[in-house]
Chain A
Amino acid sequence: MGTQQAGDAFLRNLDGLRGHTVASRPSWLGELRGAALGRFTRLGFPTTRQEEWRFTDLSRMLSIRFEPACGGASDGLASEAWALVHALPGPRVVLVDGHFRADLSVTAAGRGIVVDSLCRVLRDSPGLLAPHLAHYAPWREHPFVALNTGLATEGVFVQLAAGAVQEEPVHLVHLWTAAGKARVAHPRALILAEPNSRAAIVESYWGSHGSVSLTNAVTEIVVGRGAVLEHAKLQEEGDEAFHMATVQVHQQSRSSFTSHVVFLGGSLARNEINIRLEGRRCRCTLNGLYWARGRQHMDLRTRIDHAQPACASEELYKGILDERARGVFNGKIYVHRAAQQTDAKQTNRALVLSDQARVNTKPQLEIFADDVRCTHGATVGQIEPEAMFYLRSRGIAERRARQLLIWAFANDVVGRIGLAPLRTAVEQLLTAGDGLSVGPVAGRLP
């Protein structure tokens, strides 16, 4: 089945999906949903004939008849998920199969801080959402964002009032339970960090092997003037999961935003992070790691719009590809005419461990200002023989040397995660957590 026919089948199924959306009140929300679905119907699903989707073929995903997820009854959180939940004792919102679980969540309304399910906020204080929801993510242009905007039934709302400091990281947990049916959810997050606030937010996505699911997530983030926000997204869904996501970030002047994206799970997974630097003297740092094995397909995209002067962005994305995996990286930096004194640095590296693995990597710099410093570097390679020899010449066996070098390649990104509990959790996912004494022996390493 081609993408077009598959998309049509998916669309025929749409009415069934629509029936499960929450009551479209207040009226602005109903109008928004209607407009977004209308937009989606016109856009259709992307095909590989479109440049942005050239290397990511959706036909297999679109041939699956997904049903809207029902709330998970089981508490079948993956043990790794629980470990991270317990390591992050702050406020959290847990969605199981796309549905909010109050019993597992620790919502907060500390001084100046709201962390809650989107539906509850919609019910109790929709006025908080109206000025922001769907004001940032590009639902008019992007079919999956449109679909999410039209169909999202649940999500997360985080608000930090001006000057508020949230000491403990906020954890947004998304979990798929095991199930025989193919299910879809469209989780939506809205994160508002008002001027001079400070917080760290972790989004984690977990699943069960052997269960088919589609997560179509949209996260909108506003980083107000002088605010400092660290955002991490960990995706460790099951081996038959599809994950399509857009993270849209708007930064106001003198704000600082750091993103960590770690993609390990899923069958086909794509993440787009778009940063708009809309005030002067913003800083943003984007770190990314993907590790694809088997027949996994991972597509990681970043776009940074330098719209105002004197902003700095720094980006490091790394991918590891093994077996028959396929990786796609696209990193765009767009420097608008007004954005003088832009300092932008992008690095992306791919480590290809097998003859059958492939990666397409494309840095794109579009610069319309003249007083800027922009650098980018992209490499695709294998393990360096010089490094192998160096390790072996110190007594480390060949296989172990290879493991350590793969670990080092990944850890160069993981080590930049400032939140120690998250860093540890990621290290454990990568290595089975055997610590300093013996180093990585199992886990993902060959």
Chain B
Amino acid sequence: MLIVKNLHVRVGDKPILRGIDLEVHAGEVHAIMGPNGSGKSTLAQVIAGRDTYEVTQGEVYYEGVPLLEMEPEERAREGVFMAFQYPVAIPGLSNTRFLHAALNAIRKHRGLPELDAIDFLALIREKAAFLQMDAGLLERPVNEGFSGGEKKRNEIFQMAVLQPRLAILDETDSGLDIDALKIVANGVNSLRRPGRAFIVVTHYQRLLSYIVPDRVHVLYEGSIVRSGGKELALELEASGYGGLQRGAARDAAPALP
């Protein structure tokens, strides 16, 4: 579903990613872990289409199509979704209106009829209830005055409505208390499908107790220095990121064909 080949990215003169290789198949959950500043969020944002980063080398294929040539909205319509680490507040635009515009843009692209207001409201009420999200938040301006936890839950709510094929969760666990974390994790787990993949970017192992990954990658100074199964997250929890060094890769991501 997603193939990242030798991806180099910089901001200004500063290299952030230095040759990332990653392959994610449909149905899989990949965790990307690493210390602050290792490039985790950059990788997520580059896949989603943020243009403040400059790709200097490498390629990204999504469903066999070169992803980096697509506008962010095209990626979204093709099924890429990123849950933002810092969701943006938009005073004056209701959550409902925003999401309705988004869903219909995606449905139209997929050749599906647009949902009218009644069907749309029924859909979002159901999704909100499932995520135990206060229905009052639906009519509030997007993320305006939301608590940290409400913002993160709102991201997962949007994901549940938009039904992406590739979902990237960028530090969705940060700022969540344990109850909110469980609700978010349940929401994610309920969306796991054979045809859908997740990339879970996180600093901590904690989230991975609830969203159990198939693969764990450790990002350090812009490179994946280790990859392994879910037990790697536990190992890191015990040993910390201190022991990591560039080039000290064991069990690195398999070379791509």
Contacts and interface: CB of A to CB of B under 8 A. Distances in A.
A395 B98 contact: no
Contacts of A412: 91-92, 141
Contacts of A390: 84, 87-88, 90
Interface in B87-126: 87-88, 90-93, 96-106, 109, 114, 116-117, 120
B71 A394 contact: no
Contacts of B82: 393
Interface residues of A, number: 31
Given A390-B90, A397-B105, A415-B92, A408 B114 contact: no
A420 interface: no
A387 B50 CA distance: 11
Contact of B49 (A384, A392, A409, A436): A392
A398 B72 CA distance: 9
Most B CB contacts (10 A, CB to CB) among A390, A391, A394 go to A394
Contact of B72 (A389, A407, A410): A389
Nearest to B79: A395
Nearest to A400: B101
Contact of A395 (B91, B93, B102, B120): B102
A398 B70 CA distance: 13
Interface of B: 48-52, 71-73, 75-77, 81-82, 84, 87-88, 90-93, 96-106, 109, 114, 116-117, 120, 141, 158, 162
Interface string A419-446: 0000000000000000111110000000
B87 A437 contact: no
Contacts of A411: 92-93
B104 A438 contact: yes
Most A CB contacts (10 A, CB to CB) among B48, B52, B72, B103 go to B72
Contacts of A393: 48-49, 72-73, 75-76, 81-82, 84
Contacts of A413: 92
Contacts of B109: 395
A395 B116 contact: no
A396 B100 contact: no
By secondary structure, the A interface counts as helix
A405 interface: yes
Top 3 closest pairs, chain A to chain B, by CB: A412-B92, A408-B93, A408-B92
A103 interface: no
A392 B76 contact: yes
Contacts of A234: none
A394 B162 contact: yes
A221 interface: no
A15 interface: no
B177 to A, nearest CB: 25
A396 B117 contact: no
A396 B90 contact: no
